[in-house]
Amino acid sequence: MEKGQRKTTPLLLCSHIVVLHLLSLVAETSAKVSAVIVFGDSSVDAGNNNFIPTIARSNFQPYGRDFEGGKATGRFCNGRIPTDFISESFGLKPYVPAYLDPKYNISDFASGVTFASAATGYDNATSDVLSVIPLWKQLEYYKGYQKNLSAYLGESKAKDTIAEALHLMSLGTNDFLENYYTMPGRASQFTPQQYQNFLAAIAENFIRSLYGLGARKVSLGGLPPMGCLPLERTTSIAGGNDCVARYNNIALEFNNRLKNLTIKLNQELPGLKLVFSNPYYIMLSIIKRPQLYGFESTSVACCATGMFEMGYACSRGQMFSCTDASKYVFWDSFHPTEMTNSIVAKYVVLRVLYQFLQ
């Protein structure tokens, strides 16, 4: 599509009105979610990677150009990411701050914090690829956070805050696209199905660890249709710019494992409320029928040429970037725009996360 004025469809306008009304009802409910605590990858990293030695960063233009103040915070987006919208929908802050950002302290983190690190995964070998924060280290940061929270709120109130906090997990895409199907190691050790079981076991142990530390409200995020990312479409030699079916099928298989894990752990861990937040079908709907959601471009991203750039390459090619990111499903070749993030976040809140306000 040519870059120009954004068209607002009646369906999009109507759906936004309905969603905003429903979210206002959620926000008016007495807050049963005390904080939003986040673990994961670039889908939910608000800037932790700015403070570690890695090239997996986005704290430069044009990232953040639609964020408050036009600031590049380290979010891999033109604006806000899903957890920002989720936090706001629960009547908490409109932004979830990064744990390693020195401009924030425990008073900021008491109602929300993200330990996420772009380019990480369940597998430690995935985090090693670009030297980012592995999931086990995110858990160690969380333990330190709990100690600081106890000192700030008092032990009893801190325990209540942790028990009432919504713990969000969003990761797994990098394990397949950055690691298994790119690097030689894991593919020589595991079949795709064996690797899925390997990752699901790590997810299970992580949730059990959260439970042991007092978490009782947990959302386990699924994989998107990762074969439809612009990067995968561009680099698929035989695909003709179509979604890569093999990667989408892997996402569906892995999501099914995570869904079954959710059922299992809810049965085994007393008092745990674990939900599976699946972005796959809403993302696929947006990608396959973009006009219904007000989008014009789905196979090409906004930043640079929109085909393969992210991170520093996105910055170097920013002269080619689109003028209106809200017309695009994807911001760079791997990450959605703020508009897409808002739609997916609202969908997950209304379909799944609303349960935590009951």
- One-letter identity of residue 259: K
Q: Is 332 a known active-site residue?
A: yes
Handedness of CA 277, 281, 286, 292 (dihedral sign): negative
**Which among 111, 175, 335, 342 is annotated as catalytic?**
335
Helix axes 155-164, 135-153, angle to 10 degrees: 130
**Which among 45, 123, 175, 332 is annotated as catalytic?**
332
Q: Is 42 a known active-site residue?
A: yes
Q: What are the residue ranges of helices labelled H in 29-110?
A: 82-89, 106-109
- C-alpha 72/C-alpha 64 separation (Å) is 4
Provide the 3-class DSSP secondary structure of residue 35.
Answer: coil
CB contact at 8 A, 290 and 329: yes
**Which among 34, 42, 117, 170 is annotated as catalytic?**
42
Q: What are the residue ranges of helices labelled H in 29-170?
A: 82-89, 106-109, 124-129, 135-153, 155-164
Q: Is 167 a known active-site residue?
A: no
Active site residues: 42, 332, 335
